[in-house]
Amino acid sequence: MNSETEMLELVLGIIREMGHDTKGIERETALSDCGIDSLQAVDLVFRLEEELNITIDMAGFQPRTVGEAVSLLLTLLPDAQSAPAA
């Protein structure tokens, strides 16, 4: 799982699991507009770490929008950073 679309679906899926409606949410939507407060943001990070089997540095992972969360996640995934072999 390393495409932008897959990451977006993962983030939205977790937001739904947390009990929030994701209708109309786009990349530019603020996490706070999704109903995510600071405590739920920590829960979101824990769930992402578990799902992706990665460690996220909370100091460096403070996205304001859904799209920022997706972009930051892509930088943390080894498959997303490596160039395809020629």
Domain of 16, CATH number, reads 1.10.1200.10
| Domain boundaries, position 58 | 4-80
Question: What residues form DSSP beta bridges with 30?
Answer: 65
pLDDT the model gives residue 1: 59
Classified as helix, coil or strand, 66 is helix
Please write the tens of the pLDDT for every residue from 41-67: 999 999 999 999 999 998 888 899 999
In a domain, 37, yes or no: yes
Specify the number of domains making up the chain: 1
Torsion, CA 8, CA 14, CA 41, CA 31, rounded to 10: 50
Residue 69 located in a structural domain: yes
6-34 confidence digits (pLDDT tens): 999 999 999 999 999 999 999 999 999 99
